[in-house]
Amino acid sequence: MIVTSVSLRDVRSYARLELSLEPGLVLVTGPNGAGKTNLLEAVHVATQGLSFRTRQDAQLVRRGATEASARVRGHRAGSPLEPEVRLST
């Protein structure tokens, strides 16, 4: 799947995120604790249905929130895809 955008709501350290991606290689950089792994985990959860860090959905929901969502837009072999997952505590 070629990812073109990521939308997060109350996922781990992200209250809200709307990220548009340009075609080609995307490099995610930042200091420790900036949320790089949280972003990659959210994309993984939306596209694969489970986390690579935990089996408990509640751990993905941002502290203080009761639900979260992660949506990824993109395409594969010319067909548009928009997987989304909703999580709750």
pLDDT in tens, the chain (89 residues): 999 999 999 999 999 999 999 999 999 999 999 999 999 999 999 999 999 999 999 999 999 999 999 999 999 999 999 999 999 99
Q: In the chain, what are the domains?
A: 2-88 (3.40.50.300)
Q: What is the 8-class DSSP label of residue 57? A: G
Q: Measuring CA to CA, which residue among 21, 50, 51 is closest to residue 37?
A: 51
* Distance between CA atoms of residues 32 and 11, nearest Å: 18
Q: pTM to 2 decimals?
A: 0.92
Q: Measuring CA to CA, which residue among 82, 62, 74 is closest to residue 9?
A: 62
